[in-house]
């Protein structure tokens, strides 16, 4: 009993104050468990080896951007189900001086891409035609050239060594590879690395060596990032694509460009939200939900209640209706960012929320796009206070299953992220970026000082996952660990269904929501995989937590 009381007392020391509608609430929130803590720096990612690769760069004098590049390249080696050089994604950067920027390195459709190109929709998820032009190497290079400190070659070295020397396969790798066998065995280069050259997946503990990937990274180290797009690597990808009826050509690679953008910004109960702008739909959807929920008073102790869940569901419903209506690559269609992230639009939507009734909305044409849940996220903070929040993907597990011959590079299947139908904002067009839900986000205190950064995989559930973690921290005063582990729900207007993790809706809550008219799916097993860092109030120590749903690793020093 004495130990328990001491534990609760420690939690009370971390009490914070929250203000909404002019009311100051003082309510301590005891923590169930502590996140990782370190005095200088913290990295949270899906793999311990990748986190350690980033920390090694920080210890050598690199900053958070250098470490992020190291983590991204390392994940391509040790977390090949989603980490990648042959995919794409999004990065949000907040420098210690207050500067905030976003890097859009989403894949683009090749010149040969066109609506209706997939007779069988499955063809857009497997094989050579499923791949769009990769953006990861260009995106990492853009971030490094703008904000990095150490030489490019140095930040890639941990990944090269991991690929050359190998690492032990994890239990997760063994389980997921076993599911890939029927498809992956059709592609010799991938099977050579992951299936013992035939149909026998790697087992936990076996050494995973990737000599071709090590050689590719070495070329990129020596010749710079353009080697991937204009050098031997590009020629190898072009040759393998041409030999297998693929659509990516040398000129597609040469013409690829990562884009630096202004992040989308807003506030939630006074705290500053910085997230990813279009071409991702994630940041605008997240901010719209937060703005709608903000019109209602926060309440400590209401997490998981009928009242909170109903308001969250209705906020999701409205924001996802707008997402389906307006999301697009801004190079092809205008996106009304100011409206979607504006407080007045949110207030107008909030006025239509009824206190005890679901309000289904008409569907908006979204086409037949497919966005996989098999993505990954990492967050980094360094000693100076620079922060990186990065989400990237191959789309499905191991992408298209294709490893370009001679490169060791797994290629994405992001062509499935487009609508295969002609017309609409997400149809396939050369050079276009497909619909994405990725939501790398940084949250600042009202005075602009750093607080926390987070993101998640999970397809269309991503904005809702990030939304709920932010609300758990800001409104419910949860610790970083507890906010991430708390059960989640998902709703996106169409289909008109609330997916709920186990324990997300206790029996009485679920039954009451059903009486409101909500359709509950209680069989939804897991939502997201958040990797987050935080600056501890009062001490400045770095906190980190990697979601227990898939098993990641936060590490600091």
Can you give the pLDDT at residue 222?
Answer: 98
Q: How many domains does the chain have?
A: 1
Please, what is the average pLDDT of the chain?
Answer: 92
- Helix (DSSP H) and strand (DSSP E) numbers for the chain: 18, 23
Does the residue 132 lie in any domain? yes
Mean pLDDT throughout 342-359?
Answer: 97
- The pLDDT tens digits of the residues spanning 501-528 come to 988 888 899 999 999 999 999 877 799 9
Does the residue 242 lie in any domain? yes
Annotated catalytic residue 375: yes
Does the residue 357 lie in any domain? no
| Structural domain span for residue 130 | 45-87+102-260+392-417
In Å, the largest CA–CA distance within the chain is: 70
Four-residue CA torsion sign, 517, 521, 522, 527: negative
Does the residue 124 lie in any domain? yes
Q: Which residues contact 78 (CB under 8 A, 6 or more apart)?
A: 47, 49, 50, 162, 167, 208
Can you give the pLDDT at residue 122?
Answer: 83
Question: Mapped to the 3 state alphabet, what secondary structure does 502-527 carry?
Answer: CCCCCHHHHHHHHHHCCCEECCCCCC
In the predicted structure, residue 52 carries a pLDDT above the cut 50: yes
- The pLDDT tens digits of the residues spanning 111-167 come to 999 999 998 888 899 999 999 999 999 999 999 999 999 999 999 999 999 999 999
Mean pLDDT throughout 167-196?
Answer: 96
d(CA 117, CA 85): 25
Catalytic residue among 136, 233, 341, 375: 375
Contact 174, 203 (CB under 8 A): yes
Can you give the pLDDT at residue 502?
Answer: 87
Instruction: Please provide residue 123's backbone torsions phi and psi, each rounded to the nearest 5 degrees.
Output: -65, -20
Query: Token digits for 415?
Result: 């062509």
H-helix or E-strand spanning residue 207: strand 207-208
Does the residue 292 lie in any domain? no
Contact 459, 434 (CB under 8 A): no
3-state secondary structure at position 533: strand
Q: Which residues contact 531 (CB under 8 A, 6 or more apart)?
A: 44, 45, 46, 377, 378, 379, 454, 455, 456, 545, 546, 547, 552, 554
In the predicted structure, residue 557 carries a pLDDT above the cut 80: yes
Question: Sorting pLDDT into bands at 50, 70 and 90, what band is 13?
Answer: very low
How crowded is the C-beta side of 412, counted as CA atoms within 13 Å?
33
Does the residue 503 lie in any domain? no
Does the residue 159 lie in any domain? yes
Q: Which residues contact 329 (CB under 8 A, 6 or more apart)?
A: 278, 279, 432, 433, 434
Question: Sorting pLDDT into bands at 50, 70 and 90, what band is 367?
Answer: low
Q: pTM for the whole thing?
A: 0.93
Contact 389, 379 (CB under 8 A): yes
Give percent of the chain above pLDDT 90: 85
Can you give the pLDDT at residue 35?
Answer: 83
- The pLDDT tens digits of the residues spanning 431-448 come to 999 999 999 999 999 999
Can you give the pLDDT at residue 120?
Answer: 86
Listed range (22-36, 93-107, 328-342) with the worst mean pLDDT:
22-36
Does the residue 193 lie in any domain? yes
d(CA 553, CA 170): 13
d(CA 368, CA 456): 23
Mean pLDDT throughout 403-430?
Answer: 95
Four-residue CA torsion sign, 35, 268, 521, 376: negative
In the predicted structure, residue 8 carries a pLDDT above the cut 60: no
Cα separation values, 284 from 60, 248, 486, 495, Å:
37, 31, 24, 20
């Amino acid at each position: 009993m004495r130990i328990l009381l001491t534990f609760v007392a420690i939690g009370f020391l971390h009490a914070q104050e929250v203000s909404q509608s002019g009311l100051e609430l003082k309510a301590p929130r005891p923590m169930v468990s502590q996140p990782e803590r370190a005095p200088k720096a913290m990295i949270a990612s899906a793999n311990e080896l990748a986190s350690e690769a980033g920390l090694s760069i920080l210890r050598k004098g690199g900053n958070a951007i250098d470490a992020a590049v190291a983590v991204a390249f390392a994940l391509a080696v040790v977390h090949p189900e989603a980490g990648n050089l042959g995919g794409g994604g999004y990065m949000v950067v907040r420098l210690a001086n207050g500067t905030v920027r976003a890097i859009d390195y989403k894949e683009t459709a090749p010149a040969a891409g066109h609506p209706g190109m997939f007779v069988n929709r499955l063809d857009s998820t497997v094989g050579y035609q499923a791949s769009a032009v990769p953006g990861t190497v260009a995106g990492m290079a853009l971030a490094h050239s703008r904000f990095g400190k150490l030489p490019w070659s140095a930040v890639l070295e941990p990944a090269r060594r991991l690929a050359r020397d190998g690492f032990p396969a994890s239990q997760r790798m063994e389980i997921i590879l076993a599911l890939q066998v029927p498809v992956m065995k059709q592609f010799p280069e991938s099977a050579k690395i992951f299936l013992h050259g035939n149909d026998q997946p790697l087992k936990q503990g076996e050494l995973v060596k990737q000599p071709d990937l090590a050689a590719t990274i070495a070329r990129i180290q020596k010749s710079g990032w353009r080697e991937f797009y204009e050098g031997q690597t590009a020629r190898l990808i072009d040759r393998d694509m041409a030999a297998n009826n693929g659509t990516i050509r040398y000129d597609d690679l040469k013409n690829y460009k990562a884009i630096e953008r202004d992040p989308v910004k807003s506030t939630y109960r006074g705290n500053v939200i910085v997230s990813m702008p279009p071409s991702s739909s994630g940041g605008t959807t997240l901010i719209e939900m937060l703005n709608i929920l903000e019109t209602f008073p926060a309440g400590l102790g209401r997490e998981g209640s009928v009242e909170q869940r109903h308001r969250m569901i209705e906020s999701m419903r409205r924001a996802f209706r707008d997402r389906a209506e307006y999301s697009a690559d801004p190079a092809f269609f205008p996106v009304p960012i100011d409206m979607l992230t504006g407080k007045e639009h949110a207030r107008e939507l909030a006025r239509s929320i009824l206190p005890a009734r679901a309000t289904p909305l008409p569907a908006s044409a979204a086409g037949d796009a497919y966005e996989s849940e098999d993505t990954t996220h990492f967050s980094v903070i360094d000693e100076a206070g620079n922060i990186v929040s990065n989400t990237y993907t191959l789309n499905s597990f191991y992408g298209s299953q294709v490893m370009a011959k001679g490169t060791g590079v797994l290629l994405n299947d992001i062509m499935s992220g487009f609508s295969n139908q002609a017309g609409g904002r997400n149809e396939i067009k050369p050079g276009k970026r497909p619909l994405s839900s990725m939501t790398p986000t940084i949250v600042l205190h009202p005075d602009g000082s750093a607080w926390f950064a987070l993101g998640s995989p999970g397809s269309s559930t991503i904005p809702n996952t990030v939304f709920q973690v932010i609300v758990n921290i800001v409104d419910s005063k949860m610790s970083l660990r507890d906010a991430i582990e708390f059960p989640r729900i998902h709703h996106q207007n169409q289909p008109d269904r609330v997916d709920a993790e186990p324990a997300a809706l206790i029996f009485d809550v679920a039954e009451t929501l059903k009486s409101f008219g909500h359709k509950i799916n209680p069989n939804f097993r897991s939502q997201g995989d958040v990797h987050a860092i935080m600056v501890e109030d009062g001490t400045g120590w770095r906190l980190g937590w990697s979601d227990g749903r898939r098993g990641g690793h936060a590490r600091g020093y």
